[in-house]
Amino acid sequence: MYEDRIRLASLRKKVMSAHDAAELFENGMTVGMSGFTRAGDCKAVPLALADRARQEHLQITLMTGASLGNDTDKILTEANAISRRLPFQVDATLRQKINAGEVMFIDQHLSETVEQLRSKQLPGVDIAVIEATAITENGAIVPTTSVGNSASFAILAKNVIVEINLKMPTQLEGLHDIFIPTYRPHRQPIPLISPEQRIGVPYIAIDPAKIAAIVITEKADSPSNVLPPDAETQAIAGHLDEFLRNEVRAGRLSASLQPLQSGIGTISNAVLHGLIDSPFKDIRMYSEVLQDSAIELLDSGRMTFASASSITLSKPTYERVLDHINDYKPRLVLRPQEISNHPEVIRRLGLITINTALEFDIYGNVNSTHVGGTHMMNGIGGSGDFARNAHLSIFVTKSIAKGGAISSVVPMVSHVDHTEHDVDILVTEHGLADLRGLAPRERAVEIIRHCADPAYRDALQDYFETACRLGGHTPHILREALAWHARFNECGTMLGC
């Protein structure tokens, strides 16, 4: 029974199969799809689009909120349906095509995509494909487990395809807070002064005449694929916990800290999980994605409220949250990603942000995206939105990768996503470097001493001391600065052949 989910009765005649809806796409179109870190993505239309692309030349520019689930990026990539992709992805097949130069990937701050669309700095959206819980009496769209860029895609698109997912409980309605900033040059302040505040409406208001097709689905989101905490991630969480306790003791933070943001992935999830046994109370989150750890913190009572743009959970946690969504709803809100990640709001709320680095250098520059300086991993995501504007910007990583063949602490990062100016605290399993108020030469001492793996510590110290003899505010031996990465390419380990 889907009729009661399409409350504007005149739209019921727009219900059709995914394959019929896919006929609306034309080669070269720009398509905005819902979906943010595997949550709230469309489940049927992308597959039908891939079917078409297997039979004819049909390539699109694909924009989403962030990554998609259900192997959608993989399936579309294998069907050769994507020519251009933004602003984020995590799929191995797509990653390969991006790194082969066959798909053009625009790696963007997640807060910026719809700003650029709105100001026509990006090509306009031809079709928006949005997963929904329901369509209201006025033809407005009620999103599902993410908002991402869905609201602006639907508002700005010429045509909208809505996928109504019967798997999503109707009680999701009321979870979302859709606020669209006013247009430049007369932009008003975003009136959000605390994470729990609602400033918009619980649906995406569009002209119902733009809804060209409605497709009915019944499929859960892909479960998150984060791994459980291990010894290293627990050690990282321990260092951070101790640091935050000290900040409270020193009177720089209260026992409820500042609102927290935590990035995607295994390490961030483990770090947040570590707060369950902490003495902090009345914690609030203002983040872009809620992983299992956020729900555990809510369940434990340690956290009182969480604001985000998507909920991406393991299967058991997902089922529990959806089954009891009415219990969680008063403590959760999902916002458009330009609001969850908005620099203005992040700076105002004073967030403690925790994001993951692939590598960082002895002066505190962070690479979160490019393996070996050239090969895209996932993208910068929201990490730049949060880190640059944070009250306290924290980056975490394990000190080594690939069984020790790679040091995550290097003389010079091979690509910079977050400059030294955007990084306050660095943490590995070995310890924590507090960089606040330190000059580059002082930072290097802290980073090498506290964060580097013992197998690489002496080599980093040698590099630093030799560089200091050459002089400079940020001393480097330019000929050797990237030699560690080159050595890994030649020898399979940064330790040398």
Q: Least Å distance between CB 382 and ligand COA?
A: 4
Q: Which of 381, 411, 431, 475 binds ligand COA (CB under 6 A)?
A: 381
Contact 139, 11 (CB under 8 A): yes
Q: Which of 68, 215, 235, 264 binds ligand COA (CB under 6 A)?
A: 264
Q: Least Å distance between CB 233 and ligand COA?
A: 8
Q: Which is nearer to ligand COA, 206 or 426 (CB)?
A: 426
Residue number, nearest CB to ligand COA: 265
Interface with ligand COA, residue 383, by CB under 6 A: yes
User: What sections of 331-438 are H helices per DSSP?
Assistant: 337-340, 343-349, 383-389
Residue from 100, 151, 127, 114 nearest 26 by CA: 127
Interface with ligand COA, residue 359, by CB under 6 A: yes
Contact 41, 70 (CB under 8 A): yes
Q: Which of 65, 139, 200, 265 binds ligand COA (CB under 6 A)?
A: 265
Interface with ligand COA, residue 266, by CB under 6 A: yes
Interface with ligand COA, residue 340, by CB under 6 A: no
Structure tokens at 38: 């595997």
Question: Which amino acid belongs to residue 348?
Answer: R
The full DSSP string for 271-331 is HHHGGGGSS--SEEEE-SEE-HHHHHHHHHTSEEEEEESEE---HHHHHHHHHTHHHHGGG
Interface with ligand COA, residue 267, by CB under 6 A: yes
Interface with ligand COA, residue 358, by CB under 6 A: yes
Quick check: bond before 185 cis, omega within 30? yes
Interface with ligand COA, residue 355, by CB under 6 A: yes
Q: Least Å distance between CB 288 and ligand COA?
A: 5
Interface with ligand COA, residue 289, by CB under 6 A: yes
Paired residues of 434 in beta bridges = 425
Work out the angle at residue 255's Cα, subtended by the Cα atoms of residues 268 and 329, and round it to the nearest 5 degrees. 60
Q: Which is nearer to ligand COA, 134 or 295 (CB)?
A: 295
242's CB contacts (< 8 A; 6+ apart) are 432
Contact 438, 418 (CB under 8 A): no
Contact 257, 203 (CB under 8 A): no
Stretch that binds ligand COA, among 193-201, 209-217, 354-362, 457-465 (CB under 6 A): 354-362
Q: Which is nearer to ligand COA, 302 or 398 (CB)?
A: 398
Interface with ligand COA, residue 288, by CB under 6 A: yes
Q: Applying CB under 6 A, what is the total number of residues that bind ligand COA?
A: 24
Q: Which of 356, 365, 393, 428 binds ligand COA (CB under 6 A)?
A: 356
Interface with ligand COA, residue 377, by CB under 6 A: yes
Q: Least Å distance between CB 13 and ligand COA?
A: 40
Stretch that binds ligand COA, among 73-81, 241-249, 375-383, 464-472 (CB under 6 A): 375-383
Q: Which is nearer to ligand COA, 45 or 306 (CB)?
A: 306
Q: How far apart are CA 91 and CA 113, in angstroms?
A: 20
Residue 281 backbone zone (phi > 0: left; psi -120 to 50: alpha; other: beta):
beta
Q: Which of 336, 382, 411, 475 binds ligand COA (CB under 6 A)?
A: 382
Paired residues of 82 in beta bridges = 60
Whether 288 sits among the annotated catalytic residues: the reply is: yes
Q: Which is nearer to ligand COA, 204 or 358 (CB)?
A: 358
Q: Least Å distance between CB 390 and ligand COA?
A: 12
Q: Which is nearer to ligand COA, 79 or 425 (CB)?
A: 425
Q: Least Å distance between CB 404 and ligand COA?
A: 11
Q: How far apart are CA 99 and CA 76, in angstroms?
A: 16
Quick check: helix, strand or coil at residue 371? strand
> Which position among 173, 288, 420, 446 bears the catalytic label?
288
Interface with ligand COA, residue 371, by CB under 6 A: yes
Paired residues of 283 in beta bridges = 303
449's CB contacts (< 8 A; 6+ apart) are 431, 433, 457
Interface with ligand COA, residue 353, by CB under 6 A: no
Interface with ligand COA, residue 486, by CB under 6 A: no
Show the site string, 394-413: x = touches ligand COA by CB under 6 A, - = not: ----x--xx---x-x-----
Work out the angle at residue 40's Cα, subtended by the Cα atoms of residues 85 and 322, and round it to the nearest 5 degrees. 160
Of residues 167-206, those binding ligand COA (CB under 6 A): none
Q: Which is nearer to ligand COA, 86 or 132 (CB)?
A: 86
Q: Least Å distance between CB 170 and ligand COA?
A: 28
Cα dihedral: 416, 422, 424, 425 (round 10) = -40
103's CB contacts (< 8 A; 6+ apart) are 77, 82, 83, 84, 85, 94, 97
Q: Least Å distance between CB 140 and ligand COA?
A: 28
Quick check: helix, strand or coil at residue 215? strand
User: Which residues form the catalytic set?
Assistant: 288
Interacting residues toward ligand COA by CB under 6 A: 263-267, 288-289, 355-356, 358-359, 368, 371, 377-378, 380-383, 398, 401-402, 406, 408
